[in-house]
């Protein structure tokens, strides 16, 4: 289902344009599905970080305790992975924002071009 039926994007701002309870319910279900996907993505990322840091840092699995080298490695690995992921996501969000803004500009430009045609067609 397309969100364009329920929302209006103007100057980068999103406004809900429906008050129909069924539409609001559909929007909520779509939001919930995205939230679930975001949580799955987070868990997948967490599991990947754990796997990578474990394979890089843990040398001796015969002991319950980590030695100091393993502790230091894990302390370095986790923040690096988190910082890398944050930077990656910042770049992704910026790129997506740029794409959306460009599409909005193109849609507004197209509407401005079509508006004079409609006026001449009416005369």
Residue 56 has a pLDDT of 92
Q: By the 8 A CB rule, do 14 and 7 touch?
A: yes
Please list the pLDDT of the chain residue by residue as tens digits (123 residues).
455 555 666 666 656 666 666 767 777 777 788 888 888 888 888 899 899 999 999 988 898 899 999 999 999 998 988 888 888 888 888 888 888 888 888 888 888 887 776 666 665
Q: What span, in angstroms and rounded, lies between the C-alpha atoms of 97 and 90?
A: 10
The CATH number given to whatever domain includes residue 57 is: 1.10.287.810
Domain that holds residue 29: 3-122
How many domains, in total, are found in the chain? 1
Task: Return the residue matching tokens 């080298």.
Answer: 69
Q: What span, in angstroms and rounded, lies between the C-alpha atoms of 24 and 48?
A: 36
Residue 8 has a pLDDT of 63
Q: What span, in angstroms and rounded, lies between the C-alpha atoms of 24 and 82?
A: 35
DSSP-derived secondary structure letter, 65: S
CA 114 from centroid of its chain's CA atoms: 33
Q: What span, in angstroms and rounded, lies between the C-alpha atoms of 5 and 17?
A: 8
Residue 2 has a pLDDT of 53
Residue 76 has a pLDDT of 92
């Amino acid at each position: 289902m397309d969100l364009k039926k329920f929302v209006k994007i103007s100057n980068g701002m999103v406004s809900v344009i429906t008050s129909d309870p069924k539409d609001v319910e559909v929007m909520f279900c779509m939001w919930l599905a995205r939230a679930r996907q975001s949580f799955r993505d987070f868990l997948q990322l967490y599991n990947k970080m754990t796997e990578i840091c474990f394979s890089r840092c843990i040398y001796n699995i015969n002991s319950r305790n980590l030695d100091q080298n393993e502790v230091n490695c894990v302390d370095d690995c986790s923040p690096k992975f988190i910082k890398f992921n944050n930077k990656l996501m910042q770049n992704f969000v910026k790129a997506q924002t740029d794409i959306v803004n460009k599409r909005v500009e193109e849609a507004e430009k197209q509407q401005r071009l079509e508006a004079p045609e409609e006026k001449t067609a009416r005369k």
